[in-house]
Amino acid sequence: MTAGAPVAPRPFADPGTWLARAAAATPGGVHSPVRAFRAVGVEPLAIASGHGARLRDVQGREYIDWIGAWGPALLGHAHPGTVAAVQEAAARGLLFGLAALPEIELAERLVARTPGCEMIRFAVTGTEATASAVRLARAATGRAHIIKFAGCYHGHADGFLIRAGSGAATCGVPDSPGVTAATAGETMVARYNDLDDVARCFRDAGGSVAAIIVEPVAGNMGCVPPEPGFLAGLRAWCDESGACLIFDEVMTGLRVGPRGAAGRYGITPDLVTLGKVIGGGMPLSAFGGRADLMRRMAPEGLVYQAGTFAAHPLAVAAGLATLDALDADPDFHDRLEQHGAALASELEAMGRRRGIPLRVQRVASLWTAFFSAGPVRSWDDVAAADSACYARFFRAMLRQGILLPPSPYECAFLSAAHGEAELRLTLGAAERALEELAA
């Protein structure tokens, strides 16, 4: 089999009926809530295949994809090097549950390029990585409270589902039922980009803050960049209080620059979590940090964390292929930066010409179209943006074959596979969609 060659799909009687069958078997018909498209008022898509920046749904319609698998698809879909690496690894056996050589290389290469990460441990999902990092921070400090930011999302562990972004915000359940009051009480919530609010949390906690966990570029309430001084201020608070600074780089790692957000902004965390891109589309996450902290993990220390599927050989193979592709192309991130900048400025200019308050916020290849007159600096601003207008924009784009994130609270993801044609088609469709909005 050639890497990336089409493979005959498993037969499914009458694909047009997929949603009814799915909804009978699964809540909402989907296995992750945002896939249901409820925030944009259209039926969800079921995808048959994807190549480069294009997806094909089960009815055979093609789309230019801006969802990018919610982040992992930095190289585009079915990237030949990644697919070949996974196929080769699969042929050697899927899973052994013991150490292997490729995971050592991947660990070394990630440690070498991730600021603050002297040692690393692989897991499977971002949810596990953040939960483990917080457990480690609590163990190291002997304290209970964590500070998170409204609109940030760190996976679906109980303690993070407090004013959470991403699908939780999209579905109107940022504080999920089922999280006990005791657990919720250990999570303090501050406003993003607001150091005074962080000071308030430290005052209220009275010396019991184990960690600040932050998306160094918020991507789960749409793209909200850190303002100058914000991350440095968090670093200073942690230095002064002895709390751990955890950068959740599950979305930003390898994406906002070769050394992630920590490298881009020059702030070094105590612990970092990675996911998405590091597995090249396969399930792989990691947490890492200062060696003295990481050595507290079992079996060297007493903090427990484990996984049947941790450092899965296929995921490690895809991760190595992804790093190979990035390392083979020194201009990789600069090119994405340029494409992203051009796209964002053209879109904003289109909005201005029509008197539509369209604000495109972007960091590298992460971007969001907010229908907001002013800058979007925190969840309060995100919530005040016009989500109904976003839904209309989404639908007008979808009709033209452009698939934006089906939620005003999710980033769009530019990939290396979005070439001139995809950018031109997206801008052309946006011109017509905005015209429709203005009418």
Q: What is the contact surface with ligand PMP in residues (CB under 6 A)?
A: 70, 125-127, 130, 153-155, 166, 215, 219-220, 248, 250-251, 275, 285
CB of residue 214 to ligand PMP, shortest distance in Å: 9
Burial tier of 157 (Cβ tally within 10 Å: 0-12, 13-18, 19+): middle
Residue number, nearest CB to ligand PMP:
126
Minimum distance from CB of 197 to ligand PMP (Å)?
A: 20
What's the min distance (Å) between Cβ of 412 and ligand PMP? 14
- Tell how strand 271-274 and strand 54-57 pair up: unpaired
Using the minimum distance from each CB to ligand PMP, give the nearer residue, 218 or 416.
Answer: 218
Least distance between ligand PMP and beta carbon 308 (Å):
16
Give the whole-angstrom CA distance, residue 78 versus residue 72. Answer: 12
The least CB distance from residue 32 to ligand PMP, in Å, is 8
User: Cβ(175)–Cβ(185) under 8 Å?
Assistant: no
Phi, psi of 67 (to 5 degrees): -85, -35
In the complex with ligand PMP, the residue whose CB is nearer, 250 or 389, is 250
Rounded Cα gap, residues 41 and 47, in angstroms: 18
> Residue 225 or 351: which CB sits closer to ligand PMP?
225
**What angle in degrees, to the nearest 10, is found between the helix axes of 313-327 and 80-91?**
150
In the complex, the smallest distance separating the C-beta of residue 218 from ligand PMP, rounded to whole angstroms, is: 8
Q: Which is nearer to ligand PMP, 76 or 126 (CB)?
A: 126
Cis omega (within 30 of 0) for bond into 299? yes
Q: Which two tokens stand for residue 21?
A: 């069958």
Rounded (10°) angle between helices 420-438 and 332-353 = 20
- Residue (233 or 405) nearer to ligand PMP, CB: 405
Closest distance of CB 194 from ligand PMP, Å: 19
Q: Which is nearer to ligand PMP, 216 or 351 (CB)?
A: 216
Nearest to 71 by CA among 417, 366, 422: 366
Helix (H) or strand (E) holding 214: strand 209-214
d(CA 122, CA 321) in angstroms, rounded, equals 17
> Is 65 or 248 the residue whose CB approaches ligand PMP more closely?
248
Residue 359: both structure tokens together: 């604000």
User: E strands, 116-158, where?
Assistant: 119-123, 145-149
CB 376 within 8 A of CB 222: yes
The DSSP string of 336-378 is: HHHHHHHHHHHHHHHHHHTT--EEEEEETTEEEEEE-SS---S
Active-site positions? 153, 248, 276
- What counts of helices (H) and strands (E) characterise the chain? 15, 14
